[in-house]
Amino acid sequence: MPNRPDVMDKLVSLCKRRGYIFQSSEIYGGTGSVWDYGPLGVELKRNLQERWWNEMVRSRENVEGLDSAILMHPRVWEASGHVSGFVDPMVDCRNCKKRFRADDPKIKGVPGTPDAQCPACGMKGTLGEPRQFNLMFKTFMGPVEDSASIIYLRPETAQGTYVNFLNVQQSTRQKIPFGIAQIGKAFRNEITPGNFIFRTREFEQMEMQFFVEPGTDMEWFEYWKAERMRWHKGLGLAEDRLQFHQHGETELAHYARAAFDVQFDFGGSLGFQEIEGIHNRGDFDLSQHQKFSGKKLEYFDQGSNKRFVPFVVETAVGPNRTLLALLVNGYREEAVEGEEEGRVVLGLNPALAPIKAGVFPLVKKDGMPEMARKIADDLRPHFPVFYDDSGAIGRRYRRQDEVGTPFCITVDGESAGGNSVTVRDRDTLKQDRVAVGSVRDYIDQRISG
């Protein structure tokens, strides 16, 4: 396995400079591990989410969509175990006042003992005993701030699916096995977030809960495991940067029957990290909500004339992490023959790229800008394009290479007479002569993957 370089710092710079990702509230000094998606970032993220939705919902007759609320009844989180069990051990440094997870590998020694060294200030004996820290954001509903009005920002979207299991099943008349998928915001008050958008306090999830008859759960677990790896490869992520990680006994949640992560190699010290989890959750979730709510969450199978609480196979992918994986996977620096500075390229899958084509006049005269503008205006209703007539043509190509635009259309001296343009491929640098009337079809065929 190759030891890949760390490109994170270069990506952070590129993302701000080119409008992918900005630090939240930057003019006020920023908010820790909260990020805003700029014009290109939001396009890439929506393309990724749309691809997932098409794959998981629109192309399957046995998966339904849902958009559940962020704010839920607090008893939901008691039933799920989040109130009592969604905790991390935390330690404080009495010298520099910084906080760390007690299992942070950068801590030398055992926290709470004289030999423990703070990874921030380097002082020994200043780290306190570990204490439990709940990762849920707590707030209040209504005008009075008391224990009766406590409510939480959801730490995952899955519970909204479980409490709506019967609503969806009965309204759509779905039969087991079937799934419920949703995309939504989640919030976790992480002690030590970081690595750009890899671990943040506000993030999105794309989750699907697949409800099955007990006894068929492992068969479906293996099916979804294979399906999800296939999907990640289809994004254009390099196969040798993807692997499965099986949860061992110490990693498995107490209710889980099996769990695998899809991991991507981010390079540098981060290395292989989870971008999606596939879990066999048994009947824990529906049974817990049935117990705490007092409402039956059973499924009646008319064919066998029996009732049962379905088992759940979950697929949970983070679009933020997957987006970061796409950026890391696509980033490359290339030498270009005849040029000293070379070029930076984001080799994004053309179907996901935020801009599909740059449109340029070779020079700002002889009717070329007008013709290029018309081509851009004609293409814009069908896919995102960017018109640029500023600077040398080579620099315009480089700007589009750096943001991942797969094609560049140039109106040149031959265009007016022959009613044709050149279309340059980002990755091969090959230029094809294409009739103006065929440009849309030419690009559509190449971005439909």
What is the arithmetic mean of pLDDT over 390-395?
A: 93
Query: 8-71+154-327 belongs to which CATH class?
Result: alpha beta
CA atoms within 13 A on the CB side of 5: 7
CA atoms within 13 A on the CB side of 345: 20
- Yes or no: say if 396 and 405 are a contact pair by the CB < 8 Å rule: no
**Comparing 212-216, 252-256, 262-266, 327-331, which segment has the lowest mean pLDDT?**
252-256
pLDDT in tens, 84-103: 777 778 898 999 988 888 88
Mean pLDDT in the chain?
Answer: 93
- Please tell me the predicted confidence (pLDDT) of residue 2: 59
Share of the chain above pLDDT 90, in %: 78
Taking the domains of the chain in order of start, what are their residue ranges?
A: 8-71+154-327, 337-446
- Yes or no: say if 157 and 69 are a contact pair by the CB < 8 Å rule: no
The answer for residues whose C-beta is within 8 angstroms of residue 89's C-beta and 6 or more apart is 101, 102, 103, 130, 131, 132, 133
Residue 449 has pLDDT above 80, yes or no: no
Tokens 């270009």, residue?
336
Report the helix count and the strand count for the chain, using DSSP H and E.
13, 23
- Whole-model pTM? 0.89
Hey, what CATH topology would domain 337-446 get?
Rossmann fold (3.40.50)
